[in-house]
Structure 1
Amino acid sequence: MNGKVSTTRTKLERGRSALGPALELVHTGRAPTRAVLTSELGVTRATAGAVAAELEALGLIRVDSRPGSAAGSQGRPSHRLSVRESGPVAIAAQVHADGFRAALVGLGGRLVATAPGCVTVTADPAQVIGEVVDDCARLLRDSGLRCVGAGLAVPSAVAEPEGNALNPLHIAWPAGAPVSEIFADCVRGAGIPGPAFTGNDVNLAALAEHRHGAGRGAQHLLCVATGHRGVGGALVLDGRLHTGSSGLALEVGHLTVNPEGRPCHCGGRGCLDVETDPLAFLVAARREPGPEESLLKQAGDLLRTEYADAAVRGAAEELIDRLGLGLAGLVNILNPDRIILGGLHRALLDADPERLRAVVADRSLWGRSGSVPILPCTLDHNSLVGAAELAWQPVLDDPLAALA
């Protein structure tokens, strides 16, 4: 009798320990059916069925009542799995040089609701973060959905474990602003349940792309992107962000790509940050930046609509060559299996993909023997989705404990 009880308890514990991995498989789209879930978890069909039923009872996923076959599939039909559209959400907030945005994000990286927020970021981080959290709280009240936590993306390296924004170069916040503490206080003050997390915007974009976008399936994913100003980078290794010993890894914007180039905020000269961002493109194309729209939008629109203009094309080629030089150096150091580009860099890749790939191949040690795929980011608002991933992570780690 004791043996049977022990065996039953062991099976139950094994099933519960599989809840997190199972939820992550559905969340990232890697287990569209119960049969795939069974195979990926390495458990019996009965255990996979029980795990799926538990996640459904928690309001996280949907299990189709009738098994069906995917188009073109062979073998036994299986119950389809999907995230529950009316399930819980995470609060996501992003601050950048041209404003902020609030959102609710469900499992699967699905944007449930967004609010554009303001277009002016003041020098007071507490005021700005308080305003975006208020927008988040309004979205949550209007939705009537359960909240698992909150995440904030900021255009700065965020030191760990303190959570201070060390170099918010393109917003007027003081260096070392305690953004994590401010955000957590604002979230609690607004009555938003769950934990609060803060991270660098490009790090979070890379995490979102790895789980739901162009980086899915990569083992060593390098992301390089222009925000509204400046350049950032991130590395995702085996599904986890590589942030270094104190959260400051992959400050790729301060790689020198033009020794005689523009002075950089870091004290150097000719860094990616000032040689390949939207302002650099507008200046190289001999266009005066206007105050009415973000620099990123102005640069992107110019590249798409006036690429035939000699000055615009020349500016694009100049930035592509400098970006390629920086990427080649990163390839030599990091040996990624995929590179994804965001912001204006994505538009530059679309404009002349062969030129960029040729520069990287010519300048990297392994460029000719095995070129690294260079792809555009595919998610809209990927930093927002990544901020939500921070809030979803405790649920993915242990759904029962997080939702208790």
Structure 2
Amino acid sequence: MTQTRTTRLERGRSALGPALELVHTGRAPTRSVLTAELGVTRATAGAVAAELETLGLIQVDSRPGAAAGSQGRPSHRLAIDPAGPVVLATQVHADGFRAALVGLGGRIVATVPGCMTVPADPVHVLSAVVDAGAELLRGSGRRCLGAGLAVPSAVAEPEGAALNPLHVAWPAGAPVREIFAERVRAAGLFGADGGGGATGTGPTAFTGNDVNLAALAEHRHGAGRGARDLLCVATGHRGVGGALVLDGRLHSGSSGLALEVGHLTVNPQGRACHCGSRGCLDVEADPLAFLTAARRDPGPEVSLLQQARDLLRTEYDDPSVRTATEVLIDRLGLGLAGLVNILNPDRIILGGLHRELLGADPERLRAVVADRSLWGQSGSVPILPCTLDHNSLVGAAELAWQPVLDDPLAALQPV
């Protein structure tokens, strides 16, 4: 092999990760775009795409067709291989859990929910969610390359402890990453036979805060794509969380604890919060607060989030529901205005019940933010709904996919 050929091959292999990330995030739909984004020759881009296809990660259209009215040679289209490997994505929330298999491109291949009272010992629910994921994997016949877990708590780095699981009964500092990794290893999820007995080294289990992971997913695949400084605020089954993407990267602070927006005070005379303060966004703008403001008693049969969504969608004309909507929009807007003053984001995205509130009266929410924030007055900040279903799950999958995006060849070596 000549020196030129060796250099070209090494250059192509070093480009595999960046190329896969470009296809994964939808930024390189064709080989010509891939060539331009990587800054390599057409030959190198073609070799990189071919290698990723050989690895079973993407598909290259072998017979590209020119679009109507276009000029020049048509470019080969690139797409994620729909039959390729998956990762296990899991989420624990106040009303139970959800497990999913997620492919490249953020595509959910299969998912299953589990409803349970989350016990004080996290081992029980993490065992249940991993078992549910293992069952999905056995049914799929896919190879699993990693596992990610989203939890309703700040997760301290690097140890992976849940520091403030306020809406589940876990003790503060529960070692959720360690427990999750042990349960994944015990289940043998990383065997090439779709859940067989391979354990030991190889793919890794990751854990993160659910709203941080939602923001990561939306930035790569959803409403936050293209934003430089993205603020995400969401309420799930209980409480309110926030996350920030700065200059295209998730900002989690020095130890993983940045942006605990749920503990901004938006109603000084309001409800007592679990953190010891009063009137926090966490207890003034979540599903339980909405049901309470609408004078509805929460039922045990479905999650609080689903009850609040159903009420907003089906009974919005009821005066008590409309008033509750306005009250929560005003509280949410006040919190967002404070965050805009501090962070000056170029886009805000809202998830969970907050997405539904935005849809119910977008002008009211935008007016509150503009009226109460300096940057809102000088130029409106776009406020958009999150667009991904189960975005915390997709974000958990992003954690698990990251080693593959960093080095596809190393990640796909036999376990």
Give the structure-1-normalised TM-score. 0.97
Counterpart amino acid of 1:271?
C
Counterpart amino acid of 1:114?
T
Pick which of 74-83 and 108-117 moved more.
Answer: 74-83
Q: How does 1:257-276 map to 2 (within 5 A)?
A: 257-276=266-285
What is the CA-CA distance between 1:358 and the residue it aligns to? 0.6
- Verify: 1:373 aligned to 2:390, yes or no: no
Out of 356, 359, 362, the position equivalent to 1:350 is: 359
Structure 1 stretches (4+) deviating beyond 4 angstroms? 70-74
Query: Corresponding residue for 1:315?
Result: 324
Superposed CA deviations along residues 141-162 of structure 1, whole A, max 9, x for unmatched, are: 1111111100000000000011
Query: Corresponding residue for 1:335?
Result: 344
Query: Corresponding residue for 1:99?
Result: 96
Q: Structure 2: how far apart are the matches of 1:171 and 1:75?
A: 59
- Verify: 1:210 aligned to 2:207, yes or no: no
Q: How does 1:147-166 map to 2 (within 5 A)?
A: 147-166=144-163
Superposed CA deviations along residues 19-75 of structure 1, whole A, max 9, x for unmatched, are: 111101110111111111111111111111010001001100000111223466554
Any idea what SS the aligned residue of 1:233 has? Answer: strand
The answer to whether the 8 Å contact 1:68/1:80 transfers is no
Identity %: 84
Q: Structure 2: how far apart are the matches of 1:369 and 1:98?
A: 41
The answer to whether the 8 Å contact 1:31/1:37 transfers is yes
Question: Structure 1's 75 and 369: CA in aligned 2 closer, same or farther, altered over 3 A?
Answer: farther
- Verify: 1:90 aligned to 2:99, yes or no: no
Superposed CA deviations along residues 127-174 of structure 1, whole A, max 9, x for unmatched, are: 110111011111111111111100000000000011100111111111
Q: How does 1:128-277 map to 2 (within 5 A)?
A: 128-193=125-190, 194-277=203-286
Any idea what SS the aligned residue of 1:366 has? Answer: helix
Pick which of 64-73 and 218-227 moved more.
Answer: 64-73
Q: Structure 2: how far apart are the matches of 1:142 and 1:292?
A: 29
Counterpart amino acid of 1:154?
V
- Verify: 1:47 aligned to 2:56, yes or no: no
RMSD: 1.2
Counterpart amino acid of 2:76?
H
Q: Structure 2: how far apart are the matches of 1:138 and 1:57?
A: 28
Q: Structure 1: how far apart are the matches of 2:69 and 2:369?
A: 39
Superposed CA deviations along residues 356-397 of structure 1, whole A, max 9, x for unmatched, are: 001111111111222111000011111111101100000001
Q: Structure 1: how far apart are the matches of 2:71 and 2:358?
A: 38
Any idea what SS the aligned residue of 2:377 has? Answer: coil
What is the CA-CA distance between 1:240 and the residue it aligns to? 2.0
The answer to whether the 8 Å contact 1:95/1:101 transfers is yes
Out of 107, 110, 135, the position equivalent to 2:107 is: 110
Q: Structure 2: how far apart are the matches of 1:270 and 1:223?
A: 21
- Verify: 1:364 aligned to 2:361, yes or no: no
Q: Structure 1: how far apart are the matches of 2:354 and 2:92?
A: 20
Q: Structure 2: how far apart are the matches of 1:314 and 1:74?
A: 57
Question: Structure 1's 132 and 70: CA in aligned 2 closer, same or farther, altered over 3 A?
Answer: farther
Pick which of 150-159 and 7-16 moved more.
Answer: 7-16
Please, which runs of 5 or more residues in structure 2 have no aligned partner?
A: 191-202
